[in-house]
Amino acid sequence: MIKISNLTMVFKQGGGSDSGITALDRIDLEIPTGQCVAIVGPSGSGKSTLLGLIAGLDQATSGSIIIDDTIITKMNEDDLARFRRDRIGLIFQFFHLLPTLTALENVLVPLELKRERNATETASALLKEVGLLGREDHYPSQLSGGEMQRVAIARAAITRPALLLADEPTGNLDTENGQRIIDLLLGLNRSQKSTLILVTHDLTLASHADRIISLKDGKVVKDEMKL
Ligand SMILES: Nc1ncnc2c1ncn2[C@@H]1O[C@H](COP(=O)(O)OP(=O)(O)OP(=O)(O)O)[C@@H](O)[C@H]1O
Ligand SMILES: [Mg+2]
């Protein structure tokens, strides 16, 4: 369960006396474990800012985020980094694969610090699950956009994170590949029983979620559960 209370994020402008940009304005949200949530809204409405705060990548101006029993808005950098590594899988629009590593090596990156046994087998199995059997030894430059995103998803899923966060994961893909990525994320959400929070511009993709939260000017303006 994620509990967000009175969450505000103000980006200060160059030190002056002006009040800065309010990217999130006193957001309250509760997201039960296992839910699949789509966050939609116009450009600049605060979607990425919200996701970044839930991921602990940035520090809120005020308010709190509690994930299960952990108040992440009160954690120090080291604890936050550990929390992220153990509990959160992140997927971005531009994939962020390491170009000098193969597909398999990219998927293994999050396990590097954990010294898990059978890591290679686990990574191979995940690549197979995302439809990339036989591509283990390809470098990102030898893969299509949809394939790169599938590697990025396998990498995010390899630690079986309780929380999967995806920011415009289909933003660089055509409709068909976008649909495949969403199906894959929803499949992981179900098979790994993880909570999935997905930022998207695409209302068709958003309609596959259990719930659609609309942001505008840093506020929740609509919060709909699918029937
Ligand atoms: N690091 C930053 N410094 C200053 N302002 C920022 C910063 N990051 C975001 N903002 C501002 O905060 C607001 C919300 O930005 P955010 O990136 O969350 O929007 P978004 O909903 O993800 O938009 P998009 O759909 O274009 O990705 C915008 O006005 C943006 O300019
Ligand atoms: Mg964004």
Q: What is the pLDDT of residue 70?
A: 93
User: Is-above-0.85 flag for pTM?
Assistant: yes
Is pLDDT larger for residue 92 or for residue 25?
A: 25
Between 221 and 177, the more confident residue is 221
Which ligand gives the minimal distance to the CA of 92? 2
Tell me: pLDDT of 15 over 70: no
Distance 111 CA to ligand 2 centre (A): 28
Query: Is a pLDDT exceeding 90 seen at residue 115?
Result: no
Nearest residue to 45 (alpha-carbon basis) of 214, 170, 210: 214
If you measure from the C-alpha of residue 7 to the centroid of ligand 2, how many angstroms do you get, rounded to a whole number? 17
Q: What is d(CA 197, CA 219) in angstroms, rounded to the nearest whole number? A: 17
pLDDT bracket for residue 16 (50, 70, 90): low
Least Cα distance to 102 among 140, 73, 150 occurs for: 140
- 181, pLDDT greater than 90: no
Predicted confidence band of residue 201 (pLDDT cuts 50, 70, 90): confident
- Measured from the Cα of 51, ligand 1's closest atom is 18
Q: Is the separation of the CB atoms in 87 and 163 below 8 Å?
A: yes
Task: Give the CATH number for residue 201.
Answer: 3.40.50.300
Atom of ligand 1 nearest to the CA of 24: 14
Report the atom number in ligand 1 closest to the C-alpha of 50: 18
Task: Give yes or no for residue 63 having a pLDDT over 90.
Answer: yes
CA distance 214 to 45: 9
- Out of 100-104, 123-127, 176-180, 209-213, which region has the weakest mean confidence (pLDDT)? 176-180
CA distance 160 to 7: 27
Distance 215 CA to ligand 2 centre (A): 11
Nearest ligand to the CA atom of 24: 1
Tell me the per-residue pLDDT of 148-180, one tens digit each, with 9 for 90 and over: 999 999 999 888 899 999 999 888 888 888 888
Number of domains in the chain: 1
Q: What mean pLDDT is predicted for residues 115-143?
A: 90
Instruction: Domain of residue 83: give its range.
Output: 2-225
Is the CB of residue 21 below 6 angstroms from any atom belonging to ligand 1? Answer: yes
